[in-house]
């Protein structure tokens, strides 16, 4: 599969794809459908491994509005991993870029999910932090690809975006995980609008400022944003649809529904092995992972978008945030000499600190318009996306409790076992009394299980038979 290929820099700054089985291939993604087989073997657990940022390009179809302006398609995809732009007037060579995968088709959602997102989510379920980041100029299709529009996440169709497909995948796998683990899934959804972080799940009532923080256990995280426990796909879909409705959107010349903010949906999963489940040599007692699903606002030029006033100001801050992101990508790929990475220059780059150069496996979805009228922004997107491929993240499986969590876990385990012992004891006493005739069956309703209280309802015809078997309690 495309993502298993390792990369080598070519002299021209592009990259060529080497056969699978080298460097970053150590982290080649597993696609087993059984979650139990997704558990990472012990040898991985203490290691930090290098993982290059993967980049796929989505070339959306030419829009009617672009055709109406006389635009023609100029972006080629000569193979499934190459994008090509025609030469500028002053250049003789076409621009050629290699990526992990290129999608130039209508509705690439299903295929893209199966090929590149699902393997990443398998890692999320194994306890690794993961990120999917949509990047590109305004109107290039980021929101379409992520599915962060107001449209229904709860329907299932070809046009579904990455977010709804991901949530469905996670919930499907939780059914399997739950056979052995207590699992919790928390969702938060924020936007960065004009350099303020806003909670898309909140009702505006909270006055506590939303801040980006860092801790050794959690990495970078957002403080004071709501983290809502979700138990089903329906619950998650309703929550995220409501969040989408709160997002800042406006029309301009290049996009009728232009996102005026960067939106970050974060899904946190915690898995705790049930105390009653025996610990095998390969089982992890605890896994904690974080999935960022990021729909950036697109870079824009006021001359082309025609924005003024509030929208112009939004465009300026959007571009500032993206410039900071570009600087971080630049610094991370400048070579080994560079020490300072300017994450602190913007809230966006602080939040994405783990995703770019940190503890996360990251997939960038670079979106481009095929129109010749967008040649310059498309070239710029492809250049940055191409550079992002040489960012090396250091990922590790998050399988360690902090000392406090370890104590809480052991305490909960002890309490659960004590409760079980107490229950068994009282059932034994009750059974003994019953057999001696000291207790009438009317007095035991609250204690004994249904099949003993009402054997006929449970399909048991002989009362005596259920009382005499020692396994009945």
Binding residues for ATP: 136-143
- Using left for φ > 0, alpha for ψ between -120 and 50, and beta otherwise, residue 295 falls in beta
Please give the torsion angle defined by the CA atoms of residues 168, 172, 174 and 180, in that order, rounded to the nearest 10 degrees: -170
Out of 180, 259, 381, 393, the only residue in the binding site for Mg ion (CB under 5 A) is 259
* Cα dist from 225 to 187, 240, 354, whole Å: 10, 14, 18
- For the stretch 35-38, contacts whose Cβ atoms lie closer than 8 Å and that sit 24 or more positions apart, written own/partner, are 35/125, 35/173, 35/176, 35/177, 36/176, 36/180, 38/122, 38/125, 38/126
Distance in angstroms (rounded) separating the CA atoms of residues 288 and 359: 13
Choose between 124 and 144: whose C-beta lies nearer to Mg ion.
144
Q: Is residue 297 part of the contact set for ligand ATP (CB under 6 A)? A: yes
> Which partner from the list Mg ion, ligand ATP, none does 326 bind, CB cut-off 5 to 8 Å by kind?
none
Whose CB is nearest to ligand ATP? 298
Note whether 255 binds ligand ATP by CB under 6 A.
yes
Of the two residues 251 and 432, which places its CB atom closer to ligand ATP in the complex?
Answer: 251
Q: How far is the CB of 3 from ligand ATP (least distance, A)?
A: 21
127 binds ligand ATP (CB under 6 A): no
Please give the Cα distance from 391 to 330 (Å, whole number).
9
> Is 106 among the residues that bind ligand ATP (CB under 6 A)?
yes
The residue from 144, 181, 221, 384 that contacts ligand ATP (CB under 6 A) is: 144
Find out whether 361 and 131 touch, Cβ atoms under 8 Å.
Answer: yes
State the binding partner of 331 from Mg ion, ligand ATP, none, CB within 5 to 8 A by kind: none
**Region binding Mg ion by CB under 5 A among candidate stretches 137-145, 347-355, 411-419, 427-435:** 137-145
Please report, as residue ranges, which positions from 336 to 375 form the binding site for ligand ATP (by CB under 6 A): 367
- E strand or H helix at 299, and its extent? none
The radius of gyration of the chain from alpha carbons, rounded to an integer in Å, stands at 27
Asked whether the beta carbons of 287 and 264 are under 8 A apart, the reply is: no
Q: Quick check: 188 binds ligand ATP (CB under 6 A)?
A: no
Q: Is 143 in the site for Mg ion (CB under 5 A)?
A: yes
For residues 114 and 338, what is the distance between their CA atoms, to the nearest angstrom? 36
Residues 6+ apart with CB under 8 A from 347: 192, 195, 197, 212, 321
Nearer to Mg ion, 122 or 259 (CB): 259
- Tell me what percent of the chain is helix, strand and coil, each rounded to the nearest 5: 35, 25, 40
Query: Where would I find the H helices in 340-374?
Result: 347-351
The answer to the question of residue 36 lying near ligand ATP (CB under 6 A) is no
Region of 57-65, 163-171, 420-428, 432-440 interacting with ligand ATP (CB under 6 A): 57-65
Q: How far apart are CA 61 and CA 66, in angstroms?
A: 10
Least Cα distance to 409 among 318, 229, 313, 287 occurs for 287
**Shortest Cβ distance from residue 160 to ligand ATP (Å)?**
12
Nearer to ligand ATP among residue 124 and residue 144 (C-beta): 144
Binding range to ligand ATP, per CB under 6 A, among 17-25, 55-63, 224-232, 327-335: 55-63
Shorter beta-carbon distance to ligand ATP: residue 31 or 111: 111
> b or e along 70-94 (b: 16 or more beta carbons within 10 Å of the residue's beta carbon)?
ebeebbbbeeebbbbbeeeeeeeee
Phi, psi of 52, rounded to the nearest 5 degrees: -70, 145
Q: Interface with ligand ATP includes 138 (CB under 6 A)? A: yes
Nearer to Mg ion, 143 or 164 (CB): 143
Distance of closest approach, residue 406 Cβ to ligand ATP, in angstroms: 44
**Interacting partner of 138 out of Mg ion, ligand ATP, none (Cβ under 5 to 8 A depending on kind):** ligand ATP
144 binds, among ligand ATP, Mg ion, none (CB under 5 to 8 A by kind): ligand ATP
Q: Which does 106 bind (CB under 5 to 8 A by kind): Mg ion, ligand ATP, none?
A: ligand ATP
Whole-number Å distance between alpha carbons of 152 and 163: 11
Nearest-5° angle of CA 242, CA 247, CA 252?
135
To ligand ATP, the closest distance from the beta carbon of 376 in angstroms equals 16
* Nearest distance in Å: CB 369, ligand ATP: 8
Could you say which of 298, 315, 357, 370 contacts ligand ATP (CB under 6 A)?
A: 298
Region from 8-16, 21-29, 56-64, 235-243 binding ligand ATP, contact rule CB under 6 A = 56-64
Nearer to Mg ion, 143 or 374 (CB): 143
Binding site for ligand ATP (CB under 6 A): 60-61, 63, 106, 136, 138-144, 255, 257-259, 297-298, 367
Residues that bind Mg ion (CB under 5 A): 142-143, 259
């Amino acid at each position: 599969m495309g993502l298993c290929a390792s990369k080598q820099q070519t002299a021209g700054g592009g990259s060529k794809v080497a056969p699978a089985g080298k460097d970053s291939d150590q982290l080649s993604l597993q696609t087993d459908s059984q979650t139990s087989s997704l558990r990472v073997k012990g040898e991985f657990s203490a290691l930090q491994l290098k993982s290059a940022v993967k980049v796929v390009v989505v070339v959306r179809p030419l829009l009617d509005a672009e055709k109406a302006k006389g635009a023609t398609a100029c972006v080629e995809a000569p193979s499934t991993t190459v994008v090509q732009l025609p030469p500028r007037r002053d250049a003789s060579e076409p621009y050629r870029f290699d990526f992990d995968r290129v999608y130039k088709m209508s509705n690439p959602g299903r295929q893209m999910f199966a090929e590149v997102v699902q393997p990443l989510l398998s890692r999320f379920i194994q306890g690794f932090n993961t990120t999917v980041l949509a990047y590109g100029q305004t109107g290039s299709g980021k929101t379409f690809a992520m599915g962060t529009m107001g449209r229904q996440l709860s329907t299932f169709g070809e046009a579904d975006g990455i977010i709804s497909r991901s949530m469905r995948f996670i919930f499907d796998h939780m059914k399997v995980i739950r056979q052995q683990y207590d699992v919790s899934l928390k969702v938060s959804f924020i936007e960065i609008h004009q350099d303020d972080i806003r909670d898309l799940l909140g009702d505006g009532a909270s006055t506590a400022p939303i801040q980006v923080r860092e801790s050794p256990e959690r990495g970078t995280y957002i403080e004071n944003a709501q983290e809502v426990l979700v138990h089903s796909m329906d619950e998650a879909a309703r929550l995220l649809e409501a969040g989408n409705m709160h997002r800042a959107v406006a029309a301009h010349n290049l996009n009728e529904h232009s996102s005026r903010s960067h939106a970050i949906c974060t899904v946190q999963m915690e898995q705790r092995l049930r105390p009653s489940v025996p610990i095998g040599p390969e089982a992890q007692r605890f896994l904690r992972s974080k999935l960022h699903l990021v729909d950036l606002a697109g870079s824009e030029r006021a001359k082309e978008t025609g924005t003024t006033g509030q929208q112009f100001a939004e465009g300026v801050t959007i571009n500032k945030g993206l410039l900071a992101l570009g600087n971080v990508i630049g610094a991370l790929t400048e070579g080994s000499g560079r020490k300072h990475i300017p994450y602190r220059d913007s809230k966006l780059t602080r939040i994405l600190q783990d995703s770019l150069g940190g503890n996360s496996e990251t997939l960038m979805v670079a979106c481009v318009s095929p129109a010749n009228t967008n040649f310059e922004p498309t070239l710029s997107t492809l250049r940055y996306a191409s550079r992002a491929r040489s960012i090396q993240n250091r990922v590790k499986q998050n399988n360690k409790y902090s000392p406090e969590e370890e104590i809480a876990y052991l305490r909960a385990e002890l309490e659960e076992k004590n409760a079980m012992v107490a229950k068994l004891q009282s059932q034994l006493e009750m059974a003994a009394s019953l057999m001696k005739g000291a207790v009438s069956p009317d007095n035991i309703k609250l204690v004994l299980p249904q099949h003993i209280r009402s054997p006929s309802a449970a399909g048991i015809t002989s009362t005596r038979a259920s009382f005499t078997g020692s396994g009945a309690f």
